[in-house]
Chains A and B, each alone.
Chain A
Amino acid sequence: MSLSRRLLLGAGAVTALGAGALGLGWWQVDGPGAAQPASPTRNLPRPLGEMDVTLTDHRGRRVTISDWVGRPSLVFFGFTWCPDVCPTTLSDISLWLEELGPDADRLNVALISVDPERDTPEVLADYLGYFDPRIVGVTGEPGEVARILGDFRAKAERIEDVKGDYTMNHTAGVFLFRADGSFGSIIDFHEDRRFAVPKIRRAMKKEQP
């Protein structure tokens, strides 16, 4: 592989910026399709405790992501103008929480908006009213949202349509973190509930000494 190709690869992934040459080397050796950006599972999110980004939740309260340490967390990215993937993910999560029963009360469950321009706290509150009340919506300044996306090694991209409207491409999986803030695993979009709920339970187990 040529150096220019290598550089192009690095430029393709925002996450590679911080990784440096060592990370890039590992990535090329380890990544299956070296011509594609690394998948989120190969480029792990930072521990929650290191995420000092402060956003605003759907109740208008300021939330610093590192404050989620102490409870297992379930975090995903979306936006309320999203007609298909986001309501599906929210419905999936609502079903998982239902299956977890009272145990789910020990979780932080958060939707981080990738569309802060339209998703104000009020808009999020209105939208989330239709789903499990344990799901917290989080939004913020575009710069803050970009930082948190970087911390999660997640991506969002604005796509303009012909009529001056826009939609967002975004990372679709659900990120699981243990109570100590360390990254657990990702529940992929459309992952079977038979696998999703045990994954959550596994992330929750680590909180017991």
Chain B
Amino acid sequence: MKLPVIAVFAFGLSAGLAQAEPVRQGNLEIDAAWARASIGTSRPGAAYFTVRNFGDEGDRLIGLSSPVSTMTMLHETTLSEGISRMAHVEAAEIPASGELTLEPGGMHVMLMELATPLREGATFPLTLAFEAAGEVTVEVHVFGPGATGPAE
């Protein structure tokens, strides 16, 4: 499988050094995992990433864990009548040949009860459990508290 390696390399170059290389697990590729720096540990943090599915069958993100948080959950911000709400999401689909994007204002990882502050410039591990592809751990890059994404 040479092609994906080249693709990964090319992506790594184009996105600059702050960008980690995507992590491959089975038919899935987890990319651009990032979080905002936390201010202390009392507030929940949020993390984001993209999962691409190169397979012919859909998969599901069914679990999340990280040593930085004792309660790591998938949440989704929804907006109705101008009011934003957050709801817990049990599992999220990654359709065949499709992707799942976690981004500000949409789906996100809630990192509750932080064990340690998320410091700008640091990374922390986040383990994702998929129904078909199994478990994979990625390194999440921490940007500033006002960051809008990993492409800055």
Contacts and interface: CB of A to CB of B under 8 A. Distances in A.
B84 interface: yes
Interface residues of B, number: 28
Contact of A87 (B79, B81, B83, B146): B146
Nearest to B104: A88
B116 to A, nearest CB: 16
B46 A83 contact: yes
B105 interface: yes
A171 B82 CA distance: 5
Interface residues of A, number: 37
Given A90-B146, A130-B144, A131-B146, A83 B44 contact: yes
B145 interface: yes
A167 B43 CA distance: 10
B141 interface: no
Contact of B81 (A37, A95, A130): A37
A172 B81 CA distance: 10
Interface string A177-196: 00000000010111000000
Interface of A: 36-41, 80-81, 83-85, 87-88, 90-92, 94-95, 126-127, 130-131, 155, 157, 159, 163, 165, 167, 169-173, 186, 188-190
